[in-house]
Amino acid sequence: MRRIDAGERPMPEINLAKVCFVIEKSRELLSGDIGVDPDASNPADEGERAVLTGANASIRRELVEFIKDLDVDEAAALVALAWIGRGDFDAEDWRSAVEAASERHEGPTWKYLLGMPLLPDQLEDALSAFGRSCEDFESGQDGG
């Protein structure tokens, strides 16, 4: 088990595995159309809409369902982490960030988070601010 030294900030009240799953899946989703060759379609003809392929739609659906299944505290924590990673709050302001995220009324959490083009990077930056990373989780040293 990983020990947290006195100088390290404690991990917020959300399981590191859940945050890492959102990072991984959102990175896959943002990486573009997986396994699809470019076609001759014209984005202007399609109203500049991004068309999700089967693989991308599947990843999006999995990520949306995962976020929808989070309890309200976990959802608020995930939004707060994104805000910390974006620089809206500091890690020391964790409680304020969670409170603000809990009071957020900007539509469903999944839609709000997936609207953040830098979500995986912001979540990783926030984990780093707490002295954690998905590498810690992957190596089995998540501390709990």
10-residue mean pLDDT profile of the chain (144 residues): values are 43 85 94 51 47 74 96 95 96 94 90 95 96 75 45
Give the up-direction half-sphere exposure of residue 9: CA atoms within 13 A in the CB hemisphere.
Answer: 17
Q: How far is CA 131 from the centre of its chain?
A: 17
pLDDT value for 47: 47
Q: What's residue 30's pLDDT?
A: 86
CA–CA separation, 99 vs 115, rounded Å? 21
- The per-residue pLDDT for 43 is 46
Supply angle C-alpha 110, 78, 97, rounded to 5.
Answer: 120
- Among residues 62, 4, 67, the alpha carbon closest in space to that of 34 is found at 62
What pLDDT score was predicted for residue 104? 87
pTM: 0.75
Residue 88 burial (CB count, 10 A): 13
pLDDT attached to residue 39: 46
The pLDDT assigned to 33 comes to 47
